[in-house]
Amino acid sequence: MNQPSTSSLPVTIGLDLGGRSTQCAVLSPEGGLVEERKVSTTRRGVASLLERHPRARVVMEASTPCRWIKNLAESLDHEVVIANPRAIPIITSNVRKCDRNDARLLAEIGQVRPRLLSPVRIRDDDYQAVRTLLFVRLQLIKQRTALVNFVRAEVKALGESLPSCCTRSFVARNRSRIPDSLRKVLDPLFEVLEAVTEAIDGYDRQIEEVSARSLPQTQVLRQVHGVGPLVALAFVATIGSPGRFAKSRTVGPYLGLVPRMDQSCGHDPALSITKCGDRYMRTLLVSSATRILGCFGGDSDLRRFGLKIAASGGKRAKARARIAVARKLSVLLHRLLVTGEVYEPLRNSADCPAA
């Protein structure tokens, strides 16, 4: 097997990032250890390290500070490789795991075979700002749900219960039903719930404004039944440039919507999906797939495809149908982003009877 020539290898800096300090290991082109130390995880501390080794290859794991360190390294004319932590068990499962060994392994693998680190791409700042908007809204929804559940539990502890309703209408329908013994204590929570709902409505308006003003390509995705402004904007912000993917079918594996594989000696068990990639985007796609397969889902190729899988019966078949439709939906949305064409719900089933 051909081995890379040491003369063609770059100076490599392995960084094991931490919240306060970062362990570094610097290798020469011959593979010798040039420098090994801890530096503070600040612009000044990291810049002083990078400036001592010009035009090097910087290798680090994907983490919270990797975005600004990547921008800093590239501004100093360094090559940056960001490793996928899930793809390097030699580091994560090392029985002698410590910051020093992690930095050395990142430098050694990144110097000779950077592709083994399954490098990830950091999304652009504009898309990251959109993601921040979506995640702030998500956090508010989680907090509202937690508060509603808390109120229900406290009322239930007194032997009473509140009628079922959506979290949005919880205050209007149940504020007057709170027992007198809890009214004084729980009234401030209802005011908080009203404020949180107003904030969520404000973020929904921002999503519409950003979609129309900054990312008009989301309108192409909203042609698909079950894909609203939230799903369309999240998909565009998650995928980034559609040209990243040579084929639309690779979007499914990117979002973790394909089964895991464990083939060996003719043994090929059916496994669950990989759940790699963005969990929030995967959840939104499955939610859209559920709507497509629901009672109010319009007739389409996606719906017929899912109903055919679900027809085998049982909850397991229905779950498989949702995942399969979510995967096909991700492929379809990417294709619409690339072509910008008008969506035809029954393009592949025009001559087939309705499912």
Contacts of residue 177, Cβ cutoff 8 Å, sequence gap at least 6? 162, 163
The token pair at 333 is 């949305």
Report whether 142 contacts 108 (CB < 8 A): no
Structure confidence at residue 355 (pLDDT): 41
Rg of the chain on CA atoms, in Å? 25
| Single-letter amino acid, residue 95 | V
d(Cα 2, Cα 173) in Å, to the nearest integer?
A: 72
Does residue 287 sit in helix, strand or coil?
helix
CB atoms within 10 A of CB 166: 8
Q: Count the neighbouring beta carbons within 10 Å of the beta carbon of residue 290.
A: 17
For residue 74, which amino acid is it? E
What's this model's pTM, rounded to 2 decimal places? 0.86
Q: For residue 350, what pLDDT is reported? A: 58
What is the predicted pLDDT for the residue at 2?
A: 54
Specify the pLDDT at position 216.
93
What is the secondary structure of 118-164 as a DSSP string?
----PPPHHHHHHHHHHHHHHHHHHHHHHHHHHHHHHHHTTT-----
- Would you write out the chain's pLDDT as a tens digit for each of its 355 residues? 455 555 589 999 999 999 899 999 999 999 999 999 999 999 999 999 999 999 999 999 999 999 999 999 999 999 999 999 887 787 777 777 888 999 999 999 999 999 999 899 888 889 999 999 999 999 999 999 999 999 999 999 999 999 999 999 999 999 999 999 999 999 999 999 999 999 999 999 999 999 999 999 999 999 999 999 999 999 999 999 899 899 999 999 999 998 887 777 777 677 788 888 899 999 999 999 999 999 888 899 999 999 999 998 778 899 999 999 999 999 999 999 999 999 999 888 755 554 4
